[in-house]
Amino acid sequence: MNDRQAISADCDVLIIGAGLSGLAAGIRLGLFGKRVLLCERHYTIGGLNSFYRRNGHDYEVGLHAMTNIAPREDRGAVLYRTLRQLEIDPDAIGFVPQRQSAIAFPGIRLTFGNGIDRLRSSIAETFPDQVAGFDRVVASIPRLKGIDAADSRSAREFLAEHLSNPLLREMLLCPLMYYGAATPDDMPFGQFAILFRSIFIEGMGRPARGVRGLLKVLIEKFRETGGTLRLRCGIKSLIVENDRVVAVELDDGTRLRPRKVLSSAGGPETFALVRAADGAVPQTSARPRPGALSFCEAIAVLNRSVCELGHKDTIVFFSRDERFAYRSPDGLIGSRSGVVCVPDAFEQPDPRLEPMVRVTALADYDRWAALDEAAYRRAKEEVFSQLMEVASLYVPDFSDHVIDRDLFTPLTITRYTGRMQGAVYGSPDKRHDGATPWRNLLLCGTDQGYLGIVGSMVSGVAMAARCLVDEPSP
Ligand SMILES: Cc1cc2nc3c(=O)[nH]c(=O)nc-3n(C[C@H](O)[C@H](O)[C@H](O)COP(=O)(O)OP(=O)(O)OC[C@H]3O[C@@H](n4cnc5c(N)ncnc54)[C@H](O)[C@@H]3O)c2cc1C
């Protein structure tokens, strides 16, 4: 690379990654008149929440359900507030509520819907002596604005203060950990409170036109605000001098010089891009650790909906043991607990969506990475069958109706999103202020501490605000 190759970037903020946080940040900055360049290494947008077409069938990755589907009249609810900040009409996306979801443990089942009442009634039927404690738990969860995301108290200890029944504690933790814990076995209270409110108090739903519809609205808005999207445009390195990023090097060797960089690539992944001008890796004690929790997901496309076979649940969070294990498994996958999602079990099923069953389970990145190509292919077949067998414990038998199938592994996640170790929920070391040791490099998205679809958008908006306010001089 010589100086002639270095080009001056025509942008104020370069955003790494066109996932939900990158898109939301790009829109918000564009609305404030900033020139934004959004660089995505993959050939399409969406990141962990995306879609693809295979064997003539439309698949979705990521979205089981959007959280935070509060009643529309609740204008202060985080989803609607965030969409207002992005100047997006919620009707342009259209949110279809879940029917009901379930938490299924050995011989016992709780159901919940949108709003806390249904879960409370289910607990009252199943654990009558725990209702007062459950009410105290609910009362302890503030609105999202009031939650200290950095509160690191143990969620397990918090629950034990209010609920004497260990099985109920496990059952409540199961959906929350599966939908957002970056740490094994327990989660920080801040994260627990966000997810408790997002899933149990507010609720879950689906964009009327699925992931594609949601992303289409976001990218159109991004373009309308004047932003530039470059696909197949990976960031190879961030060149730093002292406490600033002075240049951004793309995979093709081009150098850009944005005033600021906002990265949604993940904490450890972003730090791994940082180099001094002479190529040396700067020493810093602030380097976040890569996450250790990853997943496999088996997707079966069906010629008949399991809802027609009598199934009611949108999502089943299951454990086959009374104490559920949320940690990297001792094999390729752990099938003792997981999530079964039926994407057509929402209030008004999307007519364009083929019936499907999706089963998500914890997976061990290193074991998958150690397989050679033939063994990897065989393992995918075996794991698919294993996960379908598990699904049949919670969904009527659909084996005669499978017309296509796919399985993604931790390696798939790394390949398409760059997440180290296939860690969907990122590093255990969240940086809630988004700051890095380099003043004009900020993090947004999963490793800033807000995750999931709505959380990532909230993070994008919040970090855009930091880019606007906190203008370090060039
Ligand atoms: C199986 C599964 C199920 C899920 N289910 C749900 C659900 O039901 N509800 C829910 O709310 N959430 C769900 N999620 C989580 C949700 O999808 C994510 O939390 C969210 O999409 C994260 O967004 P992000 O912007 O933080 O990161 P990402 O989506 O990871 O975006 C980062 C982007 O940066 C790009 N990138 C990385 N490195 C570079 C580089 N060097 N140069 C250029 N680009 C780069 C990546 O390609 C990626 O597109 C699920 C995720 C998975 C995998």
Instruction: State the distance from the centre of ligand 1 to the C-alpha of 199, rounded, in angstroms.
Output: 19
* Predicted local confidence at residue 9, as pLDDT: 52
For residues 301 and 284, state if they share a domain.
no
For residues 258 and 338, state if they share a domain.
no
* Residue 85 placed within a domain: no
Instruction: State the distance from the centre of ligand 1 to the C-alpha of 50, rounded, in angstroms.
Output: 8
Write out residues with Cβ below 6 Å of ligand 1: 16-22, 39-42, 47-49, 62-67, 234-235, 264-265, 269, 295, 297, 360, 417-418, 424, 445-446, 451-453, 456
For residues 400 and 312, state if they share a domain.
yes
Domain ranges, residue 244:
3-50+213-289+427-469
Q: Does the structure's ipTM exceed the value 0.90?
A: no
* Predicted local confidence at residue 286, as pLDDT: 87
* Predicted local confidence at residue 474, as pLDDT: 40
Q: How many domains, in total, are found in the chain? A: 3
For residues 170 and 239, state if they share a domain.
no
For residues 327 and 248, state if they share a domain.
no
For residues 298 and 368, state if they share a domain.
yes
For residues 222 and 181, state if they share a domain.
no
Output the domain CATH number for residue 14: 3.50.50.60
- Residue pair 461/85 in contact by the 8 Å Cβ criterion: yes
Residue nearest to atom 8 of ligand 1 (CA): 64
* Residue 28 placed within a domain: yes
Residue nearest to atom 1 of ligand 1 (CA): 62
* Residue 321 placed within a domain: yes
* Residue 70 placed within a domain: no
* Residue 40 placed within a domain: yes
- Residue pair 207/49 in contact by the 8 Å Cβ criterion: no
- Residue pair 37/9 in contact by the 8 Å Cβ criterion: yes
Instruction: State the distance from the centre of ligand 1 to the C-alpha of 47, rounded, in angstroms.
Output: 4
* Predicted local confidence at residue 169, as pLDDT: 98
For residues 355 and 333, state if they share a domain.
yes
Instruction: State the distance from the centre of ligand 1 to the C-alpha of 62, rounded, in angstroms.
Output: 8
* Residue 32 placed within a domain: yes
* Predicted local confidence at residue 348, as pLDDT: 85
- Using most ligand atoms within 8 A of CB, pick from 49, 299, 454 the residue to mutate for ligand 1: 49
* Predicted local confidence at residue 471, as pLDDT: 54
For residues 271 and 223, state if they share a domain.
yes
- Using most ligand atoms within 8 A of CB, pick from 48, 341, 406 the residue to mutate for ligand 1: 48
Query: What are the pLDDT tens digits along the chain (474 aa)?
Result: 333 344 445 789 999 999 999 999 999 999 999 999 999 999 999 999 999 999 999 999 889 999 999 999 998 899 999 999 999 999 999 999 999 999 999 999 999 999 999 999 999 999 999 999 999 999 999 887 788 888 999 999 999 999 999 999 999 999 999 999 999 999 999 999 999 999 999 999 999 999 999 999 999 999 999 999 999 999 999 999 999 999 999 999 999 999 999 999 999 999 999 999 999 999 988 899 999 999 999 999 999 999 999 999 999 999 999 999 999 999 999 999 999 999 999 998 788 889 999 999 999 999 999 999 999 999 999 999 999 999 999 999 999 999 999 999 999 999 999 999 999 999 999 999 999 999 999 999 999 988 899 999 999 999 999 999 855 444
Residue nearest to atom 47 of ligand 1 (CA): 417
For residues 371 and 455, state if they share a domain.
no
Instruction: Give the distance between the most distant pair of CA atoms in the chain.
Output: 74
* Predicted local confidence at residue 129, as pLDDT: 98
- For the chain, the first-to-last Cα distance in angstroms comes to 23
* Residue 68 placed within a domain: no
For residues 457 and 340, state if they share a domain.
no
Number of alpha carbons in the 13 Å side-chain half-sphere of residue 54: 14
For residues 328 and 405, state if they share a domain.
yes
* Residue 109 placed within a domain: no
SS (H, E, C) the chain: CCHHHECCCCCCEEEECCEHHHHHHHHHHHHCCCCEEEECCCCCCECCCEEEEECCEEEEECCCCECCCCCCCCCCCHHHHHHHHCCCCHHHHCEEEECCEEEEECCEEEEECCCCHHHHHHHHHHCHHHHHHHHHHHHCCCCHHHCCCCCCCEHHHHHHHHCCCHHHHHHHHHHHHHCCCCCCCCCEHHHHHHHHHHHHHHCCEEECCHHHHHHHHHHHHHHHCCCEEECCCCEEEEEEECCEEEEEEECCCCEECCCEEEECCCHHHHHCCEEECCCCCCCCCCCCCCCCCEEEEEEEEECCCCCCCCCCCCEEEEECCCCCCCCCCCCCEEEEEEEEECCCCECCCCCCCCCEEEEEEEECHHHHHCCCHHHHHHHHHHHHHHHHHHHCCCCCCCHHHEEEEEEECHHHHHHHHCCHHHCCCCCCCCCCCCECCCCCEEECCHHHCCCHHHHHHHHHHHHHHHHHHCCCCC
